[in-house]
């Protein structure tokens, strides 16, 4: 087996769902070579492990990243996107298949789908520290969509849907809201903290989502 194929086989073995991953979140950022913002404030601080050790995790220390084949490059982009949105392989593949069957640009349609996920909207609205945290909060039933409780993280929010915190949970969100108040807002989410209303006014486009990956390579990966 040549070097490229050996590396690709290694990546396949490591291609597990986020729900199965039990290691340190920061190792994922180091593996991908970019910040995936999986640890909230730590990602923005000098304590960020990627800033200190900008090389892949492993026992061999600061080794150079191996040159990947065309297949390996596309796989890595897919991994980055999955981890950025905190999705398992099966979930991400289903979104791609749905996007691929929708008229229009597949990459654009893929982003529209994952950005509409309730856990992502909760995170974007500043009601969670990370997407992982958002998923947990949704699962625990803390949110209402148009006045009705929704505890499914994959629920797809529609334009002009109004997200709110359940009355009995509002007090426990005070710290999160205060800590996130200086986070840069998003033009497609209108927040009225005093009224407990977070309106998803429209679906963001590809550029606005600012996903740190080459989505065309992901389209090529799944279309091979």
Stretch 179-190: mean pLDDT: 90
Helix-strand-coil split of the chain, %, nearest 5: 50, 10, 40
Q: Which fold has domain 117-202?
A: 3.10.290
Domain with CATH 1.10.1050.10 in the chain: 3-110+210-222
For the cut 70, the answer to whether the pLDDT of residue 85 exceeds it is yes
Kindly list the distances between the CA atom of residue 128 and the CA atoms of 20, 39, 167, in Å, as whole numbers in the listed order. Answer: 21, 11, 17
User: To the nearest whole percent, how much of the chain has pLDDT over 70?
Assistant: 71
Mean pLDDT of 188-205: 97
Lowest-confidence pick of 9-13, 130-134, 144-148, 156-160: 9-13
In this prediction, residue 41 has a pLDDT band, given cuts at 50, 70 and 90, of low
Q: What is the pLDDT of residues 161-175, one digit of tens each?
A: 999 999 999 999 999
Strands 148-149 and 197-200: unpaired
Q: What integer pLDDT is reported at residue 23 of this predicted model?
A: 53
Query: For the whole model, what pTM was predicted?
Result: 0.75
Q: Which residue has the higher pLDDT, 119 or 16?
A: 119
* Rounded percentage of the chain residues whose pLDDT exceeds 90: 64
CB 138 within 8 A of CB 152: yes
The tokens describing 149, both together, are: 């409780």
| Range with the poorest average pLDDT among 13-27, 149-163, 202-216 | 13-27
Query: Is CATH 1.10.1050.10 the classification given to domain 3-110+210-222?
Result: yes
pLDDT tier for residue 68 given thresholds of 50, 70 and 90: confident
CA distance 17 to 215: 19
Instruction: Quickly state the pLDDT bin for 224 (edges 50, 70, 90).
Output: confident
What does the longest C-alpha to C-alpha distance in the chain come to?
Answer: 61
Which token pair is 188? 């497609």
pLDDT mean over 2-26: 44
Query: What is residue 163's three-state secondary structure?
Result: strand
Picking from 61-65, 125-129, 200-204, which range would have the lowest pLDDT averaged per residue? 61-65
Q: What is the pLDDT of residue 91?
A: 96
Mean pLDDT of 25-42: 58
Which of 43 and 167 is assigned the larger pLDDT?
A: 167
Long-range contacts of 64-73 (CB under 8 A, 24+ apart): 65/33, 66/3, 66/7, 68/4, 68/7, 69/4, 69/5, 69/7, 69/8, 71/4, 71/8, 71/221, 71/224, 72/4, 72/7, 72/8, 72/11, 73/217
Nearest 10 degrees: CA dihedral of 127, 133, 137, 140? Answer: -170
Which residues make up the CATH 3.10.290.10 domain(s) of the chain? 117-202
Q: Give the pLDDT confidence of 128-142 residue by residue, as tens digits.
A: 999 999 999 999 999
What pLDDT score does 71 carry?
92
Is residue 205 pLDDT above 80, yes or no? Answer: yes
């Amino acid at each position: 087996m040549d070097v490229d194929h050996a590396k690709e086989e290694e990546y396949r073995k490591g291609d597990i769902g986020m729900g199965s991953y039990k290691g340190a979140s920061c190792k994922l950022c180091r593996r991908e070579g970019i910040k995936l913002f999986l640890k909230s404030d730590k990602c923005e601080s000098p304590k960020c492990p990627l800033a200190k050790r900008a090389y892949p995790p492993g026992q061999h220390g600061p080794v150079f990243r191996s040159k990947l084949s065309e297949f390996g490059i596309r796989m890595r982009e897919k991994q980055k996107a999955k981890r950025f949105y905190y999705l398992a392989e099966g979930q991400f593949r289903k979104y791609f298949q749905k996007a691929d069957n929708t008229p229009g640009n597949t990459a654009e349609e893929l982003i529209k789908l994952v950005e509409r996920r309730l856990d992502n909207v909760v995170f974007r609205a500043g009601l969670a520290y990370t997407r992982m945290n958002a998923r947990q909060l949704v699962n625990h039933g803390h949110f209402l969509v148009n006045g009705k409780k929704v505890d499914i993280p994959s629920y797809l929010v529609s334009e002009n849907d109004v997200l709110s915190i359940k009355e009995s949970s509002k007090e426990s969100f005070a710290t999160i809201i205060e800590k996130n108040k200086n986070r840069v807002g998003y033009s497609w989410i209108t927040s009225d903290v005093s009224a407990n209303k977070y309106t998803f006014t429209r679906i963001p486009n590809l550029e606005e989502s600012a996903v740190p990956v080459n989505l065309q390579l992901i389209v090529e990966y799944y279309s091979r």
